[in-house]
Structure 1
Amino acid sequence: MKVEFAPRSVPLQRRLQTASVAQWVFSFLCLAQCCTVAFIALLFTRFWLVSALYAAWWLIDREKPRKGGRRIHFFRNSIVWRYMKDYFPVTLVKTAELDPRQNYLLGFHPHGVLAVGAFINFCTEASGFSTLFPGITPHLMMLSLWFRFPFFRDYLMSGGLIPSDKESASYVLQKPEGGNLLAIIVGGAQEALDAHPGSFTLLLKNRKGFVRLAIQHGTPLVPAFSFGENNVFDQVKNPKGSWLRRIQYCLQQIMGISLPLFHARGIFQYSFGLIPYRQPICTVVGKPIPVQKRHEPSEEEVDQVHQKYLNELSNLFEKHKAKYNIPEESHLEFI
């Protein structure tokens, strides 16, 4: 295979953009493991007190992720995320106002391989979330597993991430003062296995838990579609029924996380690696869908609201797809 190296004349700005993306990919794939190793290793050095004190703090602070987390504005406003946003670039588009006196539940689609758009738009201020939606505080849900790693849990919370469990979601949605947006990547880790360039397959047909949650809290549902999310990585072909897909599904059942075999480019060359391609990502946030509050909604009520959500998401996609060079014959596929 012929390797295409990056030219020496690449401007510093672009090198910084690549470096910012590289550190994020490393954080996503390896930082949790490195934090755990560091925590254990420190116990066998003269700095053992660091891990001991952290363990005590961890015990005291163990419920914080489920209580809205602990966002750090300096982290969210870091210049590193602006470089990362410009790398693709990532943009956030508003189609309707969100009343800061209300709470909202936003469904983000698709998951993609690493959910780049969700992170940049809701865990940082790089794309201007607070400017577009003044008075609204975003909270992005992530697998609870990642909040069990020392130090890494604090890194996640600093961006506004919270565990993906009902207790964490309810804490945000039931805040009486309003002004909170709970973002859920509805397709979850399993949908990442369908994240191929040009694919518009969403794992949503039987995903109704987020709808039930919205009805129980009387929280408006907001559909959001991230155009280009599936184009930043290539993935080894894994059609349903293939041996690879069966192995990936089994591992997901055991570990709780999916393992898509993805690849793209490298840091200093364009032929192979785990750095995403420079492909634009545009996240379009739709208009809120009003939901009538019911503590114990029936299956029929949940199905009605769920169908309305599917219709609104499809309309959002159809209305905007031409702007992002999506073929006219392409439509969302719900599975």
Structure 2
Amino acid sequence: MKTILAAYSRVLKGTNSSFRSALQDLPSNPWPALRSKMEKHLQAISVLQWVITFLILGTASTVLLIYLFCTDLWLIAAMYTAWLVFDWNTPKQGGRRSTWVRNWTVWTYFRDFFPIRLIKTHNLLPSRNYIFGYHPHGIFAFGAFCNFGTEATRFSEKFPGIRPSLATLEGNFKMPVFREYLMSGGICPVNRNSIDYLLSQNGTGNAVVIVVGGAAESLNCAPGINCVTLKNRKGFVRLALQKGSDLVPVYSFGENNVYKQVIFKEGTWWRLAQRKLQKILGFAPCLFHGVGLFCSDTWGMVPYNKPITTVVGEPITVPKIDQPPQELVDQYHAMYIRSLKTLFDNYKTRFGLKKSDILHIQ
């Protein structure tokens, strides 16, 4: 309609051209620009809904369930609570993965917002089980969720026969509704029982993805920082030895660039408060910001659309030893660190880093 009005106005202004020729002189198709703008908004909304869901869905669902007990709908709340009690151990027993949820179109918009890419460097055998060590945590581990909690980057096509299970805080699975949402993506609690089940009682072809640095690492993430918390994190290596599961280093370039964070110095009151709340809540309360939903010049919860490239490295073959000695754990832990550094060095210049950049292990 705007095109037609513009053409008509040109005729009225006396350009000595017919209405038809005026139309021909104007841009023939205004829709691509409009569609592109709409897609960008949909991408931002898809990311924002996930951030909000992660932050408040569990708490909001818990409050709503309690409220329903005080209303005429108490029977619905009672039935769901009974189901919750009956289904309590399901997250620890492989969860309830939904192929339909993992393939939602919203995750494609989520992927394209940054965008997020998954790079395969080696084949993985479906006859083996794996523990993926994901680095760095970032604020929300967007790369980990998109690559391993959805099929947006076609994990199943790139690694046929491998089922990824992203491990996250156990407390999330105690919250109504939110637990169902997480399990549908193949997400599991990061506890011994859950990981034992996946690596011992669920056949082969399982890949448990552990964000090794966890909440402590998120306190130090900011644009331009290449630092992972790994030096004293050896539990996942011991577990790999006990289960005979191969270790696979995974590094996401750009994960730390999507939010700006205020990093408090060690020893300050604010840092002590963060550490204390981390121990109580299980996650680190970070002071960070992105941009507004519709205006990139304002602060908001929408992350910066910086590319995130997740590179899955070469697996380290691990023997099965029920009671591995500490010396052996240290040996494989050192092998893992060397493999992660090699992965970082081999790909850093391809994804925006300088040749002189190094990966700091703390």
Instruction: Name the TM-score, length of structure 2 as normaliser.
Output: 0.89
| Residue type of the alignment partner of 1:243 | W
Report the more deviating stretch, 41-50 or 8-17. Answer: 8-17
Per-residue CA deviations over 1:192-215 (Å, capped at 9, x if unaligned) read 001111111111000000000000
- Stretch of structure 1 that moved more, 48-57 or 90-99: 48-57
Q: 1:33 maps to what in 2?
A: 59
Q: Which runs of 4+ in 1 moved over 6 A?
A: 7-10
> What amino acid is aligned across from residue 359 of structure 2 in structure 1?
L
Distance 2:290 2:123 in 1: 37
Deviation at 1:46, TM superposition (A): 2.2
Q: Using the aligned pairs only, state the percent identity.
A: 47
Distance across 1 between alignment mates of 2:311 and 2:157: 15
One-letter amino acid of the counterpart of residue 117, structure 1? G
**Based on CA coordinates, which of the two structures has the bigger radius of gyration?**
2
2:331 alignment counterpart:
304
> Which of 223, 227, 233 is equivalent to 1:207?
233
- Trace 1:57-68 onto structure 2 (pairs within 5 A): 57-68=83-94
> 8 Å contact 2:234–2:333 — kept in the other structure?
yes
2:315 is the counterpart of 1:323: no
Q: Distance in 1 between matches of 2:106 and 2:266?
A: 38
For residues 149 and 176 of structure 1, what CA distance do their matches in structure 2 show? 25
Confirm or deny: 8 A CA contact 2:131 2:209 kept in the other structure.
yes
Q: Residue 243 of structure 1: CA displacement?
A: 2.6
| Structure 2 residue aligned with 1:194 | 220
Distance change (3 Å), C-alpha of 1:140 and 1:9: closer
* Deviation, structure 1 residue 268: 1.6
Measured after TM superposition, the shift of residue 49 of structure 1 is 1.7
Find the aligned partners of 1:177 and 1:145 in 2 and give their Cα distance.
26
CA offset digits 1:288-331 (Å, max 9, x no partner): 10011110011100000000000000000000000011122211
Q: Which residue of 1 aligns with 2:314?
A: 287
**1:9–1:151 CA distance, 2 compared to 1 (3 A):** closer
Structure 2 Cα separation of the partners of residues 247 and 60 of structure 1: 37
Displacement of 1:254: 2.1
Amino acid across the alignment from 2:314? K
Indicate yes or no: 2:261 matched with 1:235: yes
> Which digits, 9 at most, give the CA deviation of each residue in 1:106-164, with x for residues without a partner?
00000000010000000000011001001111101011011111111111111111111
The secondary structure found in structure 2 opposite 1:182 is strand
Aligned in 2, Cα 1:216/1:278: closer, same or farther, shift over 3 Å?
same
SS at match of 2:219: helix
Contact kept, 8 Å, 2:143 with 2:308, in 1: the verdict is yes
Residue equivalent to 1:225: 251
Match of 1:244 in 2: 270
Provide the rounded CA distance (Å) in 2 between the counterparts of 1:139 and 1:222.
14
1:121 is matched with 147
CA distance in 1 between partners of 2:312 and 2:82 (Å): 41
Letter aligned with residue 40 of structure 1: I
Counterpart CA distance in 2 for 1:249 and 1:8 is 46
Q: Distance in 2 between matches of 1:309 and 1:65?
A: 28
Q: Which of 177, 183, 200 pairs up with 1:157?
A: 183
Alpha-carbon separation, structure 2, partners of 1:157 and 1:192: 23
Distance 2:108 2:223 in 1: 25
Per-residue deviation, 1:239: 2.6
Map 1:261-276 to 2 at 5 A.
Answer: 261-270=287-296, 271-276=298-303
How many Å apart are 1:81 and its aligned residue? 0.5
* SS of 1:171 mapped into structure 2: helix
Q: Cα RMSD between the aligned structures?
A: 1.4
CA separation of 1:308/1:265 partners in 2, compared to 1, >3 Å: closer, same or farther? same
Q: CA deviation at 1:176?
A: 6.2
